[in-house]
Structure 1
Amino acid sequence: MTEIHQPAGLGDRAASRRAPHKGALIGLGAILVVLTNAVVFVLPPLLPIIQAQYHLATVAETTWLYSALTLGGGAGFILLPRLADVHGDRNASVAASAFLTVGALVPAVGDSYPTVLVGCAVMGFGGAAQLLPLGFLRRNLGESGISVGVAVLVIATGVGIVVGMIGGGFIVENLSLRSFFVILTAACAVTTFATYVTIPHTPPAERTRRIGVLGTVWMIGWVAAILLTLTQGLVWGGAALLPLAVGVIGGIAWVRVERRSSSAVFDVAMMKAPLVTASCVCIGLFAAANSAFLLLLSTYAQITPSSLRAADAYGLGLSELDTALLMAPFAAAFLVRGAVLDRALLKGRGVSVFVTGALICAAGLVWLAVAHDQVWHYLVGAAVMGLGCRIGYSAGFTLVQMAVPEEKAGMAAGAAGTFMAVGFTLGAALVSGDLSASLVPMPGTGLEVAAKGLYGIGYWLSAVLALLIVATALISRARSVRQAETTAP
């Protein structure tokens, strides 16, 4: 297992800290994670309202809002955690919360499609605030900081997803769009003030204060190109191959240059540490399976059978709010204590933990592939999926944090978070493509929905993603064994 480093200057930095209130820091970290995840998952139920209110001609215009949120998040995940390392946890957290506030304020004041589009991009960037607790909890809570930070991130993520979906359903049924953005602005403003008051102002964790500007901008560019392809690929068709090629080629070139850079965005030594790269890939695959599951569930549940021809009929006919409540077991599974998991990771059993989480996810997805036409089917599947994802996310973020010294906690969080962002977008793109393969009409509306059989295919494809996690973990362990045998005297 990788040793947790104690960097030079740690004692001086600890001495300069005022004693933080542990409960307040943990509570603030949970709020940041819940709020940022809720913002992401509150948007999908609002897209039809946005299209109708702003008289958008096509669904493509509406989905650009989600693309803007995703692209902003990709940039934020790369930059904000690193800023916490070199400019201090409080400064980075206040900045991230301020971006969330401004992003909500713009559409609250403007109340138009362009302002909502700008607001989504700004809120997406501030959404990287969900990764910052990994750094400030680790740097302020001592030896327990890593396990507490990961637990806060994982548990609050599950809660935030469900809160966002319930919030979206509540807004659809009870509030206007503008009222929602006003309330969100107030909530983000209070959070900004709380971060300033709660997080201790300490010297930067990394005293060099160096961020590779070119490498960072370059990475934001190629990651954004890939995310753009994943979010707009179905709309653009063959034209989407151009940004995909730019992203892939740019990424390969970036990796080659970063290996020789003295101010790399992500430390090459960190990525070469045992299981780190594999952990990031596994986080991305867990996120892809998670995203695919959420999209499949929410789409199927809200189709009303009576709105389709008898031969095509399917769905549960649930409202947005009822669909969100269907996800409650998913969030509840994230609350399961991780003491056994933590002990396994400390004993160097990371691969076994990944395999366990992935197989649990695969079991939940296979279950839903063959049984997804009753409410109780989803309640069971959501609980199983939640448990598997809880195990996988906890293992991934813990192992990446354990591979770096404390002053690079933000860098480690950013690396893992970037893979997670790409994974969520990949899962959504995979399911969107699947559900667009065969459409059936809704008589009298001029609308079309996915054919019933595509949902089973979507769950099988998602189960393959889970099995890829198993393959990734086992391949990484085999490579580590070979390297150890090669270097042994």
Structure 2
Amino acid sequence: MRSPAAVRPGVLVSGLSVVVLTVAVLQTAVVPVLGVIGSQLGASAVAVSWAVTANLLAAIAATPLLGRLADMYSKKRVLLGVLIVVLIGSVLAAVTSSLALLIVARVLQGASYALYPISVAVLREELPPGRLPGAMAVMSGTLGFGGGVGLVVVGLLMSGDADYHRVFWLTTAFTVVVLAIVVFLVPARRSRSAGSIDWLGAVGLAVGLSAVLLAITQGNGWGWFSGWTLACALGGVAVLGAWWLWENRREHPLVSTRMLTRPAMLLTNLATVFVGMGLYFVFLGLTQFVQVPRSGAGYGFGATVLESSVIFLLPGALTGFAVALVSGRFIDRYGARRVLVAAAMAGVLGFVLLAVAHDQRWQIIVGGILANTYISLGYGALPALVVAEVDAGETGVATGMNAIARTVGGSMAAAVVAVLLGRSAPGTGVPMESSFVVVFVAGAVTAALALVLIALTRPRQREVDPDALTHSRAMNHEWG
């Protein structure tokens, strides 16, 4: 195993970018094949939707705890433990033909969401402060464009009459590669963070967030004012309220409530919710729009899954990748706040274009490129704002909570899209064109709200620690 000094910063950043790409691949790969899973397993759409819901619930429950464990113990060991759980889930999903076991597998894969905050914590521990924002931007931007890549790859993989199991064999192979990257590239260091694990706080946060997320994801199927939906929503809010009071009294809380209520942190996490919504508005909205047959509906392009992936989604995904590679330089030069404001402006422009001009292929492609630029830059710059607000020992749990904000935003957007596109045009059996317009307008509105929130943030003023400054200079000299 390599020593820490043997791994160059560029190699470490590249390796961790592939690690966090796992999150995006596992999150989006299953979405295009839900219908295939239902038909091949003879299950209803409601039952199959639990393959997504269970994954989100597991992620939102486990991410803060795993982030805290990484802050307290060896980040490399926690990364390896998470990846082993994900690998077991991928193999189980690839070999089973039982929906119940597939849902169990997706629960295990939900641990992958913790890879992102732990990787950010590794970067903070290994890189000199001056290089941290740019490195995080590259890694986080990769996470942003990875969702589009996942949809494109699955579209190519599932062309023709394909078995859905091949998607999970792909995730299995990818996880094995990522395991090797962590083994050989991530340095093994002992954490210097003190404290203990607040297990009751972890359970309370998991139960409260899961109940609220369950109401969001299942509200359309259960009915937004049904007993189940209201019970989950109100019960979740009550549990989170009790959790907040509990954490306020703890000497070593799972999550510092003071940290979460700092104005800059609060506004950044709210902005992250809106950016997470934008990701799903563009992916779900565009994917379904281009597949609508124009002959019957008067709009759309009648694209197959393969055509929608290669022609309409791939340009945006490639743009997101290119933006992720250069976003670090922009953030180093102009600062994360300015980059986020520019990104949100691109997002507003892209979504407005999709809403008002979507009759030609080039309009869809250009709108998708602008929206992907927004998502990639947003995912790249938001963690820089979060890390700037917390101490080193809080990095994992703080970025974990930020990841939860993104997950909640995505879930809310998915629920909104499901409601809007559930209305069929008379005599066509496909969604009304106006529903897609509302989806794209919602994307523009959330991008504008993210812009306003980021513009209002003010960085935390820190006192300079002479010992930390000496360490920073030594690290800069070491890395050259």
TM > 0.5: yes
Give the SS at the match of 1:284: helix
After superposition, what is the alpha-carbon deviation per residue over 1:407-426, rounded to whole angstroms, capped at 9, x for unaligned? Answer: 22212211211111111111
In 2, Cα distance between the equivalents of 1:292 and 1:195?
33
Residue 475 of structure 1: how far off its partner (Å) = 5.2
Residues 1:468 and 2:449 are matched in the alignment: yes
Aligned partner of residue 259 in structure 1, secondary structure: helix
Q: TM-score, normalised by structure 1?
A: 0.86
How big is each residue's C-alpha offset from its partner over 1:43-78, in whole Å with a ceiling of 9 and x where there is no partner?
Answer: 11111110110011x211121111112112212322
Q: What are the Cα deviations for residues 317-350 of structure 1, in whole angstroms up to 9, with x where unaligned?
A: 112222223223333145232323333337xxx3
1:165·1:321 contact (CA, 8 Å) conserved in 2?
no
* Deviates most, 185-194 or 243-252: 185-194
Report sequence identity in percent.
Answer: 25
Alignment of 1:85-100 (within 5 A): 85-100=71-86
Over aligned residue pairs, what C-alpha RMSD do you find?
2.4
Q: From the superposition, tell whether residues 39 and 480 of structure 1 become closer, same or farther in structure 2 (CA, over 3 Å).
A: closer
Correspondence for 2:334 = 344
2:285 equivalent among 293, 296, 313:
296
Q: SS of the counterpart of 1:173?
A: coil
Tell me what 2:469 maps to.
none
Corresponding position: 1:316 with 2:301: yes
Question: How far off its partner does 1:298 sit?
Answer: 0.5
Query: What CA distance in whole angstroms lies between the structure 2 residues aligned with 1:476 and 1:139?
Result: 25
| Structure 1: gaps (5+ residues) | 1-15, 443-447, 482-489
Judge conservation of contact 1:362–1:466 (CA < 8 Å) in 2.
yes
2:181 corresponds to which of 180, 186, 194: 194
Q: Which amino acid aligns with 2:451?
A: V
C-alpha contact 1:283 1:420 (8 A) present in aligned 2 = yes
Say if 2:316 and 2:369, in contact at 8 Å, map to a contact too. Answer: yes
Native 8 Å contact 1:329 1:379 kept in 2: yes
Distance 1:476 1:156, change over 3 A: closer
Measure how far apart 1:138 and its partner are: 1.8
What is the Cα deviation at residue 456 of structure 1? 0.8
Instruction: Answer yes or no: is 1:457 the counterpart of 2:446.
Output: no
What is aligned with 2:243?
254
Distance 1:152 1:341, change over 3 A: closer
Q: Separation in 2 of the partners of 1:272 and 1:91? A: 31
Determine the C-alpha separation between the residues in 2 that align with 1:272 and 1:23.
34
- 1:305, distance to aligned residue in structure 2 (A): 2.5
Aligned residue in 1 for 2:354: 368
Aligned-residue offset at 1:378: 1.4
2:144 is the alignment partner of 1:163:
no
* Aligned-pair CA distance for 1:221: 1.1
Map of 1:6-405 to 2, 5 A cutoff? 18-56=5-43, 58-173=44-159, 175-208=162-195, 210-237=196-223, 238-239=225-226, 240-306=229-295, 308=296, 312-325=297-310, 326-331=312-317, 332-336=319-323, 337-338=326-327, 339-345=329-335, 350=337, 352-405=338-391
SS at match of 1:176: coil
The 1-side partners of 2:259 and 2:333 are apart by 22
The Cα shift of 1:476 comes to: 4.9
Q: Which residue of 2 aligns with 1:418?
A: 404
Residues in 1 aligned to 2:441 and 2:398: alpha-carbon distance in whole angstroms: 32
Distance in 2, Cα, partners of 1:435 & 1:38: 24
Residues 359 and 255 (structure 1 numbering): CA distance in 2 closer, same or farther, change over 3 Å? farther
Give 1:473 shift.
Answer: 3.6
Contact 1:33 1:157 in 2 (8 A): yes
2:123/2:136 contact within 8 Å kept = no
Decide whether the 8 Å contact of 1:102 with 1:122 is kept in 2. Answer: yes
Tell me which residue corresponds to 2:467.
none
For the 8 Å contact 1:88–1:201, the answer to whether it is kept is: yes
Of the structure 1 ranges 464-473 and 224-233, higher mean CA displacement relative to structure 2 is found in 464-473
Q: CA deviation at 1:134?
A: 0.7
| Number of equivalences | 450
| Alpha-carbon distance in structure 1 between the residues aligned to 2:374 and 2:190 | 38
For residues 373 and 170 of structure 2, the distance between their equivalents in structure 1, rounded to whole angstroms, comes to: 32
Which residue pairs with 2:422 in the alignment? 436
Describe the SS at the equivalent of 1:449.
coil
| SS of match in other structure, 1:275 | helix
Q: Aligned with 2:92: secondary structure?
A: helix
Tell whether the 8 Å contact from 2:144 to 2:375 is kept in structure 1 after alignment: no
Q: Which amino acid aligns with 1:340?
A: F
TM-score, length-scaled by structure 2: 0.87
- The alpha-carbon deviation at position 269 of structure 1 amounts to 3.7
Q: Distance in 2 between matches of 1:424 and 1:145?
A: 30
Structure-1 separation of matches of 2:436 and 2:335: 35
Tell me by how many angstroms 1:370 deviates.
0.5
Q: Aligned partners of 1:183, 1:368: CA distance in 2, in Å?
A: 32
183 and 38 in structure 1: CA distance in 2 versus 1, 3 angstrom threshold? closer
**Letter of the structure 1 residue corresponding to residue 242 of structure 2:** A
Given the superposition, is the C-alpha separation of residues 83 and 382 from structure 1 closer, same or farther in structure 2, using an over 3 Å criterion? same
- Matches of 2:441 and 2:453 in 1, distance apart? 19
Cα displacement (A) at 1:288:
0.7
Distance 1:286 1:180 in 2: 27
Tell me the CA shift for residue 232 of structure 1: 1.0
* In 1, Cα distance between equivalents of 2:49 and 2:303: 22
SS across alignment from 1:111: coil
Measured after TM superposition, the shift of residue 463 of structure 1 is: 1.8
Tell me the CA shift for residue 118 of structure 1: 1.0
Distance in 2, matches of 1:465 and 1:441, equals: 32
Alpha-carbon distance in 2 for matches of 1:440, 1:91: 56
SS of the residue 1:204 aligns to: coil
One-letter identity of the residue aligned with 1:217: V
1:2-46 deviation digits (Å, cap 9, x = unpaired)? xxxxxxxxxxxxxx9554343442232111122220121111111
For residues 368 and 98 of structure 2, the distance between their equivalents in structure 1, rounded to whole angstroms, comes to 36
Q: Is the 8 A contact 1:103 1:121 kept in 2?
A: yes
